[in-house]
Amino acid sequence: MDVVIRNANLADGQQGVDVAIENGRIAAVGPRLPLQAAQEIDAAGDLLSTPFVDAHFHMDATLSYGLPRVNASGTLLEGIALWGELKPHLTQQALIDRALQYCDWAVARGLLAIRTHVDVCDDRLLAVEALLEVKRLVAPYLDLQLVAFPQDGVLRAPNALINLKRAITMGVDVVGGIPHFERTMAEGAESVRILCEYAADQGLMVDMHCDESDDPMSRHIETLAYQSNRLGLHGRVTGSHLTSMHSMDNYYVSKLLPLIREAGVAAIANPLINITLQGRHDTYPKRRGMTRVPEMLAAGIPVAFGHDCVMDPWYSLGSGDMLEVAHMGLHVAQMTGQAAMRDCFRAVTSTPAAILGLQDYGVAPGCHADLVLLDAADPVEAIRLRAARRMVMRRGKIIAESPRAQARLSLPGRPEQVNFRLNR
């Protein structure tokens, strides 16, 4: 064996597990494996997890905060306007440099797969070319999946549909859309039909920004589910944001959720962004803004969490830490039950991995040896502490390490070291 990781806890609750790795894949999993290896790693009862997966991001805009100016209002619409101002001044190399820097941040935090939307409304397709190059450069250590995203509306923006198809021809993976940004509700619905038919014809997945609005009458997720059902796209379609669902009446949602489930449509919530951008027109009481995560999970709809933005025109914060995303999602959705908190951990690991269609993802024989060793005993503790990543492994090779988090005190009469781990 190349590597054996000893005495690890797994996210499914197994404890004291050994994981054997050979030729970049997991060869065996079990307690006290009677195997020798060139390298042995003592997990010491820490959580050995699959890598984090971000199912919704905008890498073409990341780390561009302050260009060409700061979003003074902090609103979604000013952010979109700022991005429009910045696009003419973008250069391919600047896009590549910022994206690569972010990918370094991501890998250090155990984030090894990202689905990123890339704006196709610029006729030059600079961002598409840049991120295709980034995808090639990071392939040895990070899976990057690109969505052709018509930021300004596929019908509203000149050449957007042509550019989207050009981007797919160039190698972009997924068909995107933003129906609520079209000029009318009817055009939004028409854009969903056009894009889903194109995806069905090309054999592609679909991921649409859908109903990122406080307007309860923004109901394009209904159309997206209908078209998925009509065209047989089950399991290949995702609705991202879905924030209008937070403002819809319960009777309508009681009909909507079964439709989404039957259509095989997945959902992606973006807790950090939607809790800050939504409800801006409210006084008090203020709407929370995020979609109905617990209700969708209860209905059998796969729900993942996305980071969405990091230091860009829409969001001045962020660090590429998916545990921070899970932590915010847990609080905003009031998912503090034991099972619900574990659902939040799955929302940044196994659920988005399934949505992206990642192959051989897991901690089981035959899976890729892509693993993260966290300074925590279980998923709940990992979220609570935003646990340090002791080790990040890709295909059986360690690509990032960090020390355990320890707090030391020098108070008279008190222990020198304080351990924030409660279940040791």
- CA-closest candidate to residue 267, choices 228, 317, 321: 228
Residues 66 and 32 sit within 8 Å (Cβ to Cβ): no
How many whole angstroms separate alpha carbon 83 and alpha carbon 376? 39
Q: Tokens 């957007």 — which residue? A: 160
Torsion, CA 295, CA 297, CA 300, CA 301, rounded to 10: 100
- CA-closest candidate to residue 46, choices 19, 25, 15: 15
Inter-CA distances, 337 with 240, 312, 330, 370, 394, Å: 25, 33, 10, 29, 32
Tokens standing for 230? 């009509």
Residues 255 and 206 sit within 8 Å (Cβ to Cβ): no
How many whole angstroms separate alpha carbon 269 and alpha carbon 306? 6
- CA-closest candidate to residue 374, choices 355, 336, 356, 400: 400
How many whole angstroms separate alpha carbon 229 and alpha carbon 223? 10
Q: Print burial letters for 359-371: b (CB count within 10 Å at least 16), e (below 16).
A: eebbbeeebbbbb
Q: What are phi and psi of 123, to 5 degrees?
A: -60, -25
- CA-closest candidate to residue 110, choices 54, 53, 51: 51
DSSP lists the bridge partners of residue 315 as 312
Tokens standing for 367? 């899976």
Cα 423 to chain centroid distance, Å, stands at 29
Catalytic residue list contains 182: no
DSSP lists the bridge partners of residue 218 as none
SS3 213: coil
- CA-closest candidate to residue 60, choices 417, 344, 308: 308
How do 237-241 and 205-210 pair as beta strands? parallel
The residue type at 116: T
Annotated active-site residue in 212, 222, 324, 381: 212
The residues annotated as belonging to the active site are 212
